[in-house]
Amino acid sequence: MTNMTNNKKVLKFVEDSAALACPDKIVWIDGSVEQRDALRAEAVATGEMIKLNEELLPDCYLHRTAENDVARVEDRTFICSRKEEDAMPHSIVKWMDPEKAYKMAADIARGKMKGRTMYVIPYSMGVVGSPFSRIGIEVTDSIYVVLNMEIMTRVGKMCLDELGENGDFVKGFHCKCDVDPEKRYILHFPEDDTIISVNSAYGGNVLLGKKCFALRIATYLGKKEGWMAEHMLILGCKRPQDKEIKYVAAAFPSACGKTNLAMLIPPKEYLDAGYEIQTVGDDIAWIRVGEDGRLWAANPENGFFGVAPGTNEHSNPNALAATKKGTIFTNVAYNPENNTVWWEKLTKEAPAHLIDWKGNPWTPETNADGKHPAAHPNSRFTAPAENCPCISPEFNSKQGVPLSAIIFGGRRATTTPLVYQSRDWNHGTFVGTIMSSETTAAATGAVGVLRHDPMAMKPFMGYSVDQYFQHWIDMGKKVPADKQPKIFNVNWFRQDEKGDFMWPGFGDNMRVLDWILDRCEGKVDAQETAIGYVPYAKDINIKGTDVTEETLDKLLYVDKARWAAEAEEIEKYYDDNFGDKLPKEIRENLETLKRNCAE
């Protein structure tokens, strides 16, 4: 069948998959440019992708998914551990008995690759040969998946070489089947290093290296082996006053600003002073204790699967630049006039005539009711990381980068101040556990509903939430206090009485990052409040913004009455979900919060 590997486990996995799904043909993905280009041409020939303007967008393509298949399906995602208690309580994902799940998936996928090709994708999450790196094999009947995986991960024969004759890997089986939403399942078997995805062909459901492996399976591996897999961006910040570049990891829920913060361009006066942001990752961080005792982070991905709408040359010029070549666009609008793409806010004025994400003619009139955008709100670009003008020189570093700070943040219209710092690692962990955020289009379901999203990991934990909290506490114990990253919380989304955002966000977030790094360096005081350390207004530089002193005071205000109510709600959330499984360090910090708010 192939001379690409002698690894019997790989060969058996491929044989078993083929025996079940009965493809006409099996194609091994070797990572070569020749094979990739041939597959791209084939996808264009079959109409699966549209080749875009070679001059304006060289080697770029547009793909449309089925209308019912445009976001992660959290309610059809399962953790199939042998014991239910190892997956439950879970924030959102459900548990299914593994035997039942295997059988159900087999019944769904049986014979479904007849008439199709099965591609075998050997890939690495992390730089091949680095202590972070893990190998996966995804089999799929989707050429779109192959072409996206070739951008998002490190794909090719070197991954099989890395495995050798006997190495273990994460098995990923993907079959589009009939893209039937009623039979759509995303199944994880952490104890077997196995993922099965059926009846979808959209991003996070089918690019199995991403959320399924690099978060759900990896959280489980990290728990077992003493490291962490988190829904975090990683950035490096160069400041004139520091001797070296400082690295920060930040966890925000889906579509809450990770890509934007990771590629931030500082305001002019900061640029002039020598500030610079370097992107290490925009979605996922794997974190381990380094030889020097600090926490080191690496991005296991090789590309960006970013939200398109809202991305433009003002909000995120680096992301936009990254999409200018070798990029696959999914569910954005098509501009037939010049054979390019468009999405909401790419330009101030929409072009007069477009083809919308569903493939129908669209004019600005079509969206008169605001409910018919040209691009789907969760439309995405898949862009190679190397395209990004601000990619970090450490992007391919084998040991990763040392973390000075960890930041949590969500979409909160009220209550949560622009920024605050936790008192220590355990309190910082508590701050992560109490995260709530308004829902976005990145998952199916209602948008704008406030929900608990601990550590921005609600949909991505591969085991029970209480054990995940405990793992955070345990990781803190592995690092001496003076080497632990400081833990912060930010909120770019606080609103005024009119419902407008009070903070300009985007590049101006540099002003908050600056305070955070000064706190890490012990260079600035802060006021101790009921929830932690909050900046003195004078220490957040608002010169050159529209933010008034009055607004800044409001942005930094900690309303004890609101927080008392929040604490009560958190207690109920803990009690309803975890009861006495909640780690005692977390309970203690809740008691402290309640006491502080009552004072």
List 330's β-bridge partners, or say none: 63, 380
Return d(Cα 320, Cα 363) in angstroms, integer: 23
Could you give the angle at the alpha carbon of 399 between the alpha carbons of 146 and 489, nearest 5°?
85
Of 118-126, 140-148, 386-394, 500-508, the segment contacting ligand GTP by CB under 6 A is 500-508
CA distances from 119 to 47, 171, 197, 249 (A): 18, 13, 15, 34
List 138's β-bridge partners, or say none: 121, 172
DSSP character for 442? T
Neighbours of 272 (CB within 10 A): 9
User: Are 137 and 163 spatial neighbours (Cβ–Cβ below 8 Å)?
Assistant: no
Q: How far apart are CB 406 and ligand SPV at their closest, in Å?
A: 18
Q: How far apart are CB 253 and ligand SPV at their closest, in Å?
A: 7
Of 41-49, 204-212, 344-352, 553-561, the segment contacting ligand SPV by CB under 6 A is 204-212
Q: How far apart are CB 460 and ligand SPV at their closest, in Å?
A: 8
Our finding on whether 379 is near ligand GTP (CB under 6 A) is no
Binding track, positions 248-277, relative to ligand SPV; x by CB under 6 A: ------x-----------------------
Binding track, positions 290-329, relative to ligand GTP; x by CB under 6 A: ----------------xx-xx-------------------
Which among 159, 256, 388, 520 is annotated as catalytic? 256
Tell me which long-range contacts 591-599 makes (C-beta under 8 A, separation of at least 24): 592/427, 593/430, 593/530, 593/531, 593/563, 593/567, 594/564, 594/567, 594/568, 596/529, 596/530, 596/531, 596/560, 597/530, 597/560, 597/561, 597/563, 597/564, 597/567, 598/564, 599/530, 599/560
Return d(Cα 130, Cα 328) in angstroms, integer: 28
- Among positions 431-470, residues that touch ligand GTP (CB under 6 A) are 442
Our finding on whether 173 is near ligand GTP (CB under 6 A) is no
Our finding on whether 458 is near ligand SPV (CB under 6 A) is no
**DSSP letters for 368-394:** TTSS--SS-TT-EEEEEGGG-TTB-TT
**Binding partner of 210, given ligand GTP, ligand SPV, Mn ion, none, CB within 5-8 angstroms per partner class:** ligand SPV
Q: How far apart are CB 199 and ligand GTP at their closest, in Å?
A: 22
- Cβ proximity to ligand SPV, 211 vs 411, nearer residue: 211
Binding track, positions 210-229, relative to ligand SPV; x by CB under 6 A: xx------------------
Q: Report the residue closest to Mn ion, judged by CB.
A: 283
Our finding on whether 426 is near ligand GTP (CB under 6 A) is no
Strand order in the sheet with 354-355: 340-342, 333-335, 354-355, 361-362
Q: Report the residue closest to ligand GTP, judged by CB.
A: 505
Our finding on whether 198 is near ligand GTP (CB under 6 A) is no
DSSP character for 216? I
Our finding on whether 283 is near Mn ion (CB under 5 A) is yes
Q: In whole angstroms, what separates CA 56 from the centre of its chain? A: 28
Contacting ligand GTP (CB under 6 A), which of 87, 255, 322, 534?
Answer: 255
Q: Residue 256 catalytic?
A: yes
Our finding on whether 122 is near ligand SPV (CB under 6 A) is no
Burial category of 584 from C-beta neighbours within 10 Å (exposed 0-12, middle 13-18, buried 19 and up)? exposed
**Binding partner of 259, given ligand GTP, ligand SPV, Mn ion, none, CB within 5-8 angstroms per partner class:** ligand GTP
Q: How far apart are CB 281 and ligand SPV at their closest, in Å?
A: 11
Per-residue burial over 433-471, b = 16 or more CB atoms within 10 Å of its CB, e = otherwise: bbbbbbbbbbbbeeeeebbbbbbbbbbbbbbbbbbbbbb
Token pair, residue 158, equals 């070197």
Our finding on whether 374 is near ligand GTP (CB under 6 A) is no
Of 112-120, 202-210, 360-368, 516-524, the segment contacting ligand SPV by CB under 6 A is 202-210
| Interface contacts to Mn ion, rule CB under 5 A | 254, 283
Catalytic residues: 256
> What does the binding site for ligand GTP look like in residue numbers (CB under 6 A)?
252, 254-260, 282-283, 306-307, 309-310, 442, 492-493, 501, 505-506, 509
Residues that bind ligand SPV (CB under 6 A): 72, 203-204, 210-211, 254, 283, 305, 442
